Amino acid sequence: LAKPIEHCITLEQGFTAELVFGLVLQNIQNDPSFLAIHEQCNVEPALINCLKYVQEHKILLQKLNVLAIQMPDVFDQSLFCAWMTLCALTLEGRPQKELNVAFLAALTHDFGLLEVTPEIIFKTGELEPGEWVAMQQHPLLGARTLKNLCYDVDATAIRAVAEHHESPDGTG
C-alpha cells in the first residue's frame, strides 16, 4: 500500500472529541476522589482544548475506537492516564501546547498493543521468551504508529510513547 491502511478506511460511527470527553467524565465521576481532583485542578477547559487538538487528528480517534473495542481495559487505562497527566501538568501551570502534546501521548501510549498478536495479548499463562520480546516492542510500535498516522505530531509525543516503560536510568 502507498499509505497505511488506517488512511484508506474509516469507521462509520467512530469516536468524536465530544464522546471521548463524556467517557473521561464518566470514568472520573465513578470515584469521588477523582472527581474532587478534577474539580480542584479546574482541568475541564484544558481537557476540552486537548480534545480539540486530538480531533484535528481524526485518524487517532479512529485508532482509539479500535482500542476500545479490542481492549476495553487498556482503553480505560489510556483515558485515565491522559486525564491524570492533564491534571498534573495543569497544576504545574504548563501552557496549553504542552498540555496538548502530553495528553495526546498519554492517550495513545498503548496503541502499539494493537500491533501485538491477540494470542500474546490475551494469553493467560506465562509468556514465552519470544512472546515477551513481542510485548516489550509495543512502545516502539506505538511510536511508529503515531508517527506514521500523524505526520505533524510533535516529536515529544512520539518520544513519550516510545519511552513510556523506560526507567530513569534508561532500563525498562
Distance of CA 23 to the CA centre of its chain: 14
For the chain, give the percent of residues with pLDDT over 90. 78
Which string of DSSP letters, residue by residue, matches 19-48?
HHHHHHHHHHHTSHHHHHHHHHHT-HHHHH
Write down the pLDDT at residue 14: 81
> What is the rounded distance in angstroms from the CA atom of residue 43 to the CA atom of residue 84?
10
Write down the pLDDT at residue 171: 74
pLDDT tens readout for residues 25-76: 999 998 999 999 999 999 999 999 999 999 998 889 999 999 999 999 999 9
Residues whose CB falls within 8 Å of the CB of residue 7, separated by 6 or more in sequence, listed in order: 59, 149
Write down the pLDDT at residue 19: 94
What's the one-letter identity of residue 7? H
φ/ψ of 117, rounded to 5, equals: -60, 140
pLDDT tens readout for residues 123-157: 999 999 999 999 999 999 999 999 998 888 999 99
- With H, G, I as helix, E, B as strand and everything else as coil, classify residue 126: coil
Average pLDDT over all residues of the chain: 90
Q: Is the pLDDT of residue 11 over 70?
A: no
Are the C-beta atoms of 106 and 75 separated by less than 8 Å? no
